[in-house]
Structure 1
Amino acid sequence: MEKKNTTKTIKNGSIPATVLKNTIPSMIAMVMVLVYNLADTFFISQTHDALMVAAISLASPIFMIFIAIGNVFGIGATSSISRALGEGNKEKARKISAFSVWGSIITGVLFSALLLIFIDPVLNIIGASEGTWQYTKEYLQIIAIAGPFTILSSCLSNVIRAEGKATTAMIGQLAGNILNIILDPILIIVLGWNVVGAAVATTISSIIGAIYYLSYFKWGKSSLSINPKDFSVKERIAAGVLAMGIPAALGNLLMSVSSILINGQMATYGDMAVAGIGIAMKVTMITGTLFIGFGQGLQPLLGFSVGAKDYNRFKSIMRFSVVLALIMSVAVTLICYIFTDQIVSIFLTDAAAFEYGVSFARIMLSTSFLFGVFYVFSNSIQAMGAASFAMIINISRQGLIYIPALYILHAAFGINGLVMAQPVADVLSFVLVIVLYLKSSRSLMTDSKTNATVDIDFTKNEPIEEC
């Protein structure tokens, strides 16, 4: 009965209520991911050792690669599963979920093993200095052990969200994240384990999160499957997941690469500059992470409408979501900009590092108000199954646009040019995602009776249901 009610709500429920029901849990879950991410840095900062803070910043891109691998299978599954459920093909949805889960496990084990084997070359690549080398190495060695669980947890949360169980996905993330926040002060400060304590806390929380999601499937509360017997690469199962998952993961992967590149460039200005840019990125994560969650919660609703060929509902969901996301992103950006000093001071006590952090954060926040609308459009493109356009968006923002901008602006404006590269990439990517959305929406099949397209037309005053 619960499964039928969930499907009925997605298909026919009030648009504002349905959007909020699916996006709020996802946003809360992503806020907890943010808190989880910030917890290590915050409690490490209580040691008043900026080198340890810099080490955590250097290690963050590697952790993001684990998340990227999880997204290959998780976000790829979200798009494919939601469309399969919209078509009424539950058997295909079960095969997609089984492929995604087991694919993430196998890939996670392989990547963790490679990281442990080649950890010293990795430290050279990410820009660890003599002062940060040992701290970064200790952190990464332990994080690698938890790698398969981190990847599996990321995958499963998306798979569960694909069938409309956003609250269940949120609870799993909350469980692991809250545990991490509890363990951090105990292991880092009370026991004095420093960066090792931060890594151990992250490892334990990743394992707990994965166990929660697995138990959800074991108790039969899902219409999907993690049974290896349902694992299949036929019926374009693997191709469908990877076609949407790889573009999404490339965004995370290129974010990791770009972080490594900017850390390497910042290292020429000293370890305090590295600590400063690391914290500035975390300030902008407050805005970005929130709306990544909004987009992830929205995607199954849009994907279901595409699968059911209900393009009028797709259009109405998009209109409501764009307006709501814009209002929220402007508000969050203003709050972060006004309180930049206070936020940075939580993590940095060294005067030089603090000055860098505040200056860098304000530059990067200048375009954060675009994030809400950006993630609505980018997730709608994934929901429509436009794999090539999704690929273009993800490789452009953190790769094709950002990386050249990083070097060009650094040459022109020095250290501030390194920081300006991200706002420039944000603006150009925002224009790109709107253009690609319009192209992909116009290419969708229209309903033969209504000849309705899914373009957003703000000149039409069509009614939207009230909550």
Structure 2
Amino acid sequence: MENQQVLRDEKISKLLLKYSVPAILAMMAASLYNTVDRAFIGSIPNVGALAISGLGVTMPMLTIIGAFAVSISVGGSTNISIKLGENNKEEAEKILGSTFALELVVGVIITIGAIFFLDKSLYMFGASEHTIKYAREYMSVICFGAIFNLPGFSLNGAIRAEGNPKLAANMMISTCILNLILDPIFIFGFGFGIKGAAIGTVICQLVTFIWTSYYFTKGKSTLKLRVNNIKLDKKIVKAIIIIALTPFAMELAAGSIHLVTNKVLKVYGGDLAIGAMTAVTSISLMFLMPIFGLSQGMQTIIAYNYGAKQYNRAKKTLGLALIVSTIILTLGLIAVKLVPELFVGIFTNDKELMELAVKGIDLNLITLPLVGVSILGPVYFQSVGKAKVSMFLTLLRQVILLIPIIYIIPKIFGLNGVWISQPISDIGAMIIVSIFLIKEFKSEKVKTFA
């Protein structure tokens, strides 16, 4: 009751800070995982440029693994929260066990699939005879780690579901720091190269698995992971999948852009262009991850106040979040424009790759300050219960607009056309999302904002 009163009466700026900061830290930690890998891989002597290009080829496959991990976790955590809200602890523990079991089964399937189809998949995702070695070395280890990565991810989500988001965030941050320590040891100390980066990442995933498993078995958790509950209960799995389908489709659809982009880059720029795009994407994520965390923080505030018919507070939350996101992304753009070599240098010291990536930053990230509207606008509609509108607007920037644009524009402008496809999509998405928001705020219900 006290928490609900805070959501209803507390100053919006304080609420946004309170709910967003843990989410931002967690998102930054998740982003740092990938950034650390790419940074060390890009600095491997003599092969760094091709190695980071090989890592770029793995992005579609990493997205698929992530889609399973995230969607099943969301499906399980949501159902757990519902049962805890109903004060049905026994059923919540059954859902925890089935979620764990489902993630484990998918992890085993991914591992077995990699044994038989890894090379074929990587060639399909844009690998060449020059980059397949590096992509294979990295993904063979990552796919093996799926056996405990996915179950560990679901348990981390369950920690948030039972009301301990700070611990869940601390786990992610701690393992990220561990990854920062392990990567140079395995890559350079043991001379494992790109495979060493994967080993470091998988060890961190194993630590998360052990840590979360201990928490739910021997720790001070509200729920317990019991052996007799670790099974694929048909009814529970169905309930998990029903909720998981939407985030799975969105993750997969959004991730499909990696596959499309790699294929187009291979045609117009070759292997190094894929490596350059990997660096540019990693740099953009440094500034976009706080916006994703901000979106998670504002979602609870908007949903509660919209449900309480305090529409003005819901609108004010979105407005403040848009201002904050625009400031963050504008500062990000200024930084990358002033010292692009400094940012690209995190991922590579190869001169040719550096030149390609700097040119990519110059063209690809020019509309960065506009992206906040495209990210936060759909979350607003999701928060007020308009799921179909939210899904359409979520897929707009990276799928509905970008995929046809990235096939058409490079035919006219070549490699530069690949770089400018994202800004064109950003502008289109920002305009369309803004139109939807304006229309929403002009509706009869929302006129009471004033």
TM-score range normalised by the length of the shorter chain: 0.7 to 0.9
**3-state DSSP of counterpart to 1:392:** helix
Identify which of 11, 14, 19 aligns with 1:22. Answer: 19
Paired AA for residue 322 in structure 1: L
Tell me the distance in 2 between the aligned counterparts of 1:210 and 1:163: 17
CA contact (8 A) 2:102 2:237 kept: no
State the shift of 1:438 in Å: 6.2
Once structures 1 and 2 are overlaid, which stretch shifts more, 365-374 or 211-220? 211-220
Paired AA for residue 18 in structure 2: K
State the shift of 1:167 in Å: 2.1
Tell me the distance in 2 between the aligned counterparts of 1:431 and 1:250: 24
State the shift of 1:206 in Å: 1.2
Count of aligned pairs between the two proteins? 443
Once structures 1 and 2 are overlaid, which stretch shifts more, 127-136 or 422-431? 422-431
Structure 1 residues 22-101: aligned runs within 5 Å: 22-48=19-45, 49=47, 50-76=49-75, 88-91=85-88, 94=92, 100-101=99-100
CA contact (8 A) 1:82 1:304 kept: no
Matched, 1:248 2:217: no
State the shift of 1:200 in Å: 0.5
Matched, 1:424 2:424: yes
Number of the residue aligned with 2:400:
400
Percent identical across equivalent pairs? 27
Paired AA for residue 251 in structure 2: N
Number of the residue aligned with 2:171:
172
Number of the residue aligned with 1:282:
282
Paired AA for residue 179 in structure 1: L
Structure 1 residues 173-252: aligned runs within 5 Å: 173-218=172-217, 228=229, 238=238, 242=241, 245-252=244-251
For residues 22 and 342 of structure 1, do their structure 2 counterparts lie closer, same or farther at Cα, with a shift above 3 Å needed?
same
For residues 220 and 41 of structure 1, do their structure 2 counterparts lie closer, same or farther at Cα, with a shift above 3 Å needed?
closer
Number of the residue aligned with 1:135:
134
Number of the residue aligned with 1:383:
383
For 1:292-339, what per-residue CA distance to the aligned partner results, in whole angstroms no more than 9, with x for missing partners? 122123334444556666655534433332332232232233223322
For residues 316 and 159 of structure 1, do their structure 2 counterparts lie closer, same or farther at Cα, with a shift above 3 Å needed?
farther
Tell me the distance in 2 between the aligned counterparts of 1:123 and 1:145: 16
Taking structure 1 as the reference length, the TM-score comes to 0.82
CA contact (8 A) 1:161 1:297 kept: no
CA contact (8 A) 2:299 2:379 kept: yes
For residues 318 and 148 of structure 1, do their structure 2 counterparts lie closer, same or farther at Cα, with a shift above 3 Å needed?
farther
State the shift of 1:154 in Å: 4.0
Structure 1 residues 425-444: aligned runs within 5 Å: 425-436=425-436
Tell me the distance in 1 between the aligned counterparts of 2:5 and 2:68: 32
Tell me the distance in 2 between the aligned counterparts of 1:377 and 1:77: 26
Number of the residue aligned with 1:359:
359
CA contact (8 A) 1:82 1:307 kept: no
For residues 380 and 350 of structure 1, do their structure 2 counterparts lie closer, same or farther at Cα, with a shift above 3 Å needed?
same
Number of the residue aligned with 1:412:
412
Q: CA RMSD in A?
A: 3.4
State the shift of 1:213 in Å: 3.1
Tell me the distance in 1 between the aligned counterparts of 2:156 and 2:441: 27
Number of the residue aligned with 1:465:
none
For residues 12 and 399 of structure 1, do their structure 2 counterparts lie closer, same or farther at Cα, with a shift above 3 Å needed?
same
CA contact (8 A) 1:77 1:162 kept: no
Paired AA for residue 286 in structure 2: I
For residues 186 and 203 of structure 1, do their structure 2 counterparts lie closer, same or farther at Cα, with a shift above 3 Å needed?
same
Structure 1 gap segments, 5+ residues each: 444-451, 461-467
Tell me the distance in 2 between the aligned counterparts of 1:89 and 1:191: 52
Number of the residue aligned with 1:257:
256
Tell me the distance in 1 between the aligned counterparts of 2:409 and 2:2: 53
State the shift of 1:343 in Å: 0.6
CA contact (8 A) 2:405 2:421 kept: yes
Paired AA for residue 430 in structure 1: M
Once structures 1 and 2 are overlaid, which stretch shifts more, 104-113 or 124-133? 104-113
Tell me the distance in 2 between the aligned counterparts of 1:225 and 1:315: 39
Tell me the distance in 2 between the aligned counterparts of 1:260 and 1:81: 34
Paired AA for residue 210 in structure 2: I
Tell me the distance in 1 between the aligned counterparts of 2:395 and 2:345: 33
Paired AA for residue 208 in structure 1: V
**3-state DSSP of counterpart to 1:254:** helix
Paired AA for residue 288 in structure 2: G
For residues 297 and 230 of structure 1, do their structure 2 counterparts lie closer, same or farther at Cα, with a shift above 3 Å needed?
farther
Number of the residue aligned with 1:113:
112
For residues 215 and 304 of structure 1, do their structure 2 counterparts lie closer, same or farther at Cα, with a shift above 3 Å needed?
farther
Structure 2 gap segments, 5+ residues each: none
For residues 103 and 190 of structure 1, do their structure 2 counterparts lie closer, same or farther at Cα, with a shift above 3 Å needed?
same
Tell me the distance in 2 between the aligned counterparts of 1:309 and 1:44: 51
**3-state DSSP of counterpart to 1:285:** helix
Paired AA for residue 261 in structure 2: I
For 1:228-277, what per-residue CA distance to the aligned partner results, in whole angstroms no more than 9, with x for missing partners? 3898776x9955x6565433333432343221222222223332222212
Tell me the distance in 2 between the aligned counterparts of 1:421 and 1:405: 6
Once structures 1 and 2 are overlaid, which stretch shifts more, 211-220 or 46-55? 211-220
CA contact (8 A) 1:188 1:198 kept: yes
Tell me the distance in 1 between the aligned counterparts of 2:317 and 2:44: 47
Paired AA for residue 360 in structure 2: F
Tell me the distance in 2 between the aligned counterparts of 1:161 and 1:456: 34
Paired AA for residue 37 in structure 1: N
Tell me the distance in 2 between the aligned counterparts of 1:237 and 1:114: 22
For residues 40 and 339 of structure 1, do their structure 2 counterparts lie closer, same or farther at Cα, with a shift above 3 Å needed?
same
Taking structure 2 as the reference length, the TM-score comes to 0.85
For residues 270 and 429 of structure 1, do their structure 2 counterparts lie closer, same or farther at Cα, with a shift above 3 Å needed?
same
Tell me the distance in 2 between the aligned counterparts of 1:52 and 1:323: 38
CA contact (8 A) 2:299 2:383 kept: yes
Tell me the distance in 2 between the aligned counterparts of 1:281 and 1:105: 30
For residues 405 and 214 of structure 1, do their structure 2 counterparts lie closer, same or farther at Cα, with a shift above 3 Å needed?
same
Number of the residue aligned with 2:292:
292
